[in-house]
A and B are shown apart, each in its own frame.
Chain A
Amino acid sequence: MILPAIISLTVLGVVFGLLLGLAARYFKVEGNPLVAEIEQLLPGAQCGQCGFPGCTGAAQALAEGNAPITLCPPGGRAVVLALSAKLGIEADLAGVKDVTPMMAEVKEEICIGCTRCFKVCPTDAIMGAAQQIHSVFREACTACGKCEAVCPTESIKLQPIPTTLQSWHWHKPQEVTA
């Protein structure tokens, strides 16, 4: 009675084990395509604010599960949501929401036109030439903060982007207390 059961289970085990082994050998994927896919979602500014060496490094860490999906400050909520959908991780937006959108702004009185900032700007968002006052394109600035770090006179600083009639929208209603 018990023998056929043992035999059949053993045979099943062997067959499936073989199948799995073969599959592992012949369907092996070189590298992890996920890294490239994740990198596509990241802003690509290579700003390094996440603590990883550039967006590829961050994508690597995300793919391996070594980094939270909220790691990218310039990406904001849009990137968190995209990553959440991609990786199937529940997005905890609580930590992201408080970051007000920022952009670099040049205090023209103290800018000495040293050009250091636009040499480090990953998106070419800073316009200017040596000995001239620099200015920032709002649309290109990702608020990575690299310029702020290199400015010798502290004239370039991240400032919150002011709300306009076009960008304003209703806030979320206050939670129902129950």
Chain B
Amino acid sequence: MKLFNLRGGVHPEGHKALSALHVIRELPLPKHLYLSLQQHIGAPAAPVVQVGDRVLKGQVIATAQGNVSAAIHAPTSGTITALGDWVSPHPSGLTAPTMTLASDGKEQWIETPTVADPFALAPADIAARVGAAGIVGLGGATFPAALKLNLSRNSGVQTLIMNGGECEPYLTCDNLIMRERAAQVIEGIRLIALAVEAKTVLVGIEDNKPDAIAAMQQAAKGTSVKVVSMPSMYPMGSEKQIIQVLTGNEIPAGGRPADIGVLVHNVATAYAVQQAIRFGRPLISRIITVSGGALNQPCNVEALIGTPVQELIDFAGGYRLPATRLVLGGPMMGQQFTNTQVPVLKGTSGVLALTASEVGQAEASPCIRCATCVRACPVGLLPLEMAAHIRVSDLTGAVELGLRDCIACGSCSYVCPAHIPLVHYFNYAKGDLAAQERSKLKQESTKKLAEARTERIARIERARAEAAAKRKAAREAKERAAAAAKAATEEA
């Protein structure tokens, strides 16, 4: 199959062998699970159980709220012991509303609806079951999967692209799931294709995972699913980029993949879909890469959602070297965290403990305009120019240069020889612009309020004045009448 070129891109050192050589292992059951109500893009889920309730494995404990949201299920049987704030893997370090579940060790499942022939289901039914299982995009975006299926079916998607790129260094969880559970993944892919009535189904896998490609090709034999090997390059696994490489088309600026008839899902999501449809199992666990040069035994584990990250680090044998930086996700776009009690979320693909040399951080120095960032940008932006504008608080200038098209992949920061935190500048600017937008909206609404009040006061004043005038007129009329009467009596 003909592949198209990715623009820019970088070749970070993979470090994949650290964790890719071992099979997926199951994490022992943790004593406590911390289930954040905000594990997805959109509105937080609304709890439907009380503190003290006993819940079964797979039971819904929080339901989706509004259009964009996802339900949360109990990952094991046990008792809800708290509903309050708990550390969250968010860069702000703020806490998030979280349910605490004390496991009872019985792993008692709730009754799950199994389907003998999932391919006989109607597309809408598949989407509904995916929604009920609380499945979100497991590649990291955590967009509710059912919503994406429905939107794509309604807008007539032709091509389904399954993302097995896994271009982030260190991460091997998708690699492992494709290697070890290829049959289930392929079935999940076919179910997604059925749900959106896609005509073409492509699975894009980077060529640094030959075993995964072979396993998937084997499992896809006799189906319409086509497994494609793609060159290894970052950010190959980004939605926009994988579409460009596999189809040659680009998502129009500000648009969605459906605008060009494409839907992209992660391979791990396909596995979750298969489990949900065939066995009725909701999304309560996921494969996570625990890796990094600071760990003794990097590995891939299947962990329950809500497991504190510390348990994963312990499972990987603890630290071999001092970990300068702990990261959730991959090193290119992942999120640093400092408190190891943060729980695993649905979107957590990796837990990395990196040494100082792996991070390679250095003081930023002035930009020498070498344009290495321009060559690295997969979108065709001028990172150095944008950062220069943002540095002097000219956010409008940065927007004119294409700030809103930036996918925050971090390629520019990665290659910058001056170690300028380019993508940090861009995310700061995006956040600040959003804040400005919010304050503008607020100002407009308060202005209306102020005007309404001024008008009301004026109206009251007017009414009062009118009433006073009326009274005065009445009084004068009375006086006149009295005067007239008096005059009349005098005349008489």
Contact = CB atoms under 8 A, between A and B. Distances in A.
A176 to B, nearest CB: 5
Contact of B38 (A43, A165, A172): A165
A160 interface: no
Nearest to A123: B449
A173 B393 CA distance: 12
Contact of A124 (B366, B393, B430, B453): B453
A66 interface: no
Interface string A164-177: 11011111111110
Residue from A91, A121, A168 having most chain B Cβ neighbours under 10 A: A168
Contacts of A163: 92, 94
Contacts of B471: none
Residue from B434, B447, B451 having most chain A Cβ neighbours under 10 A: B447
Given A123-B449, A171-B428, A164 B436 contact: no
B428 A172 contact: yes
B427 to A, nearest CB: 5
Interface string B73-95: 00000000000000010111010
Interface in A12-51: 43-46
A170 B431 contact: yes
B424 interface: yes
B200 interface: no
B364 A176 contact: yes
Contacts of A74: 443
Interface in A46-79: 46, 74-79
Contact of A79 (B90, B365, B443, B445): B443
A7 interface: no
Given A45-B446, A46-B454, A77-B436, A173 B92 contact: no
Contact of A169 (B88, B434, B440): B434
Contacts of A178: 365-366
B259 interface: no
Interface string B153-195: 0000000000000000000000000000000000000000000
Nearest to B449: A123
Contacts of A141: 446
Contacts of B390: 172
Contact of B432 (A46, A140, A169): A169
Given A170-B427, A173-B421, A122 B450 contact: yes
B439 interface: yes
Contact of B449 (A81, A101, A125, A164): A125
A129 interface: no
Given A75-B443, A165-B38, A170 B91 contact: yes
Contact of A170 (B391, B424, B445): B424
B369 interface: no
Residue from A43, A142, A167, A169 having most chain B Cβ neighbours under 10 A: A169
Nearest to B419: A176
B452 interface: yes
B453 A123 contact: yes
A150 to B, nearest CB: 16
Interface SS of B by simple majority: helix
A86 to B, nearest CB: 13
B449 A176 contact: no
Contacts of B472: none
Nearest to B447: A44
A44 B451 contact: yes
Contacts of A45: 446-447, 450
A168 B453 CA distance: 32
A173 B426 CA distance: 10
A147 B442 CA distance: 19
A93 interface: yes
B436 A81 contact: yes
Interface string B11-38: 0000000000000000000000000001
Interface in B414-470: 418, 420-421, 424-425, 427-428, 430-432, 434-436, 438-440, 442-443, 445-447, 449-454
Contacts of A109: none
A75 B396 CA distance: 18
B88 A140 contact: no
Interface string A134-178: 000001111000000000000000000001110111111111101
A167 B443 contact: no
Residue from B393, B439, B445, B446 having most chain A Cβ neighbours under 10 A: B446
B202 interface: no
B440 A93 contact: no
B96 interface: yes
B421 A78 contact: no
Contact of A165 (B96, B431, B436): B96
Nearest to B438: A167
B199 to A, nearest CB: 39
A43 B91 contact: no
Contact of A173 (B96, B424, B445): B424
B462 to A, nearest CB: 18
A178 B91 CA distance: 28
A44 B446 CA distance: 8
A168 B94 contact: yes
CB-CB nearest 5 A-B residue pairs: A169-B431, A168-B92, A44-B447, A123-B449, A178-B366
7 contacts: A78-B436, A93-B393, A122-B453, A125-B449, A165-B92, A167-B435, A169-B427
Given A76-B439, A78-B436, A170-B91, 8 more contacts: A44-B450, A45-B450, A78-B443, A123-B450, A124-B449, A140-B449, A172-B428, A176-B364
Interface of A: 43-46, 74-79, 81, 85, 91, 93, 101, 121-125, 139-142, 163-165, 167-176, 178
Interface of B: 38, 88, 90-92, 94, 96, 364-367, 390-391, 393, 396, 418, 420-421, 424-425, 427-428, 430-432, 434-436, 438-440, 442-443, 445-447, 449-454
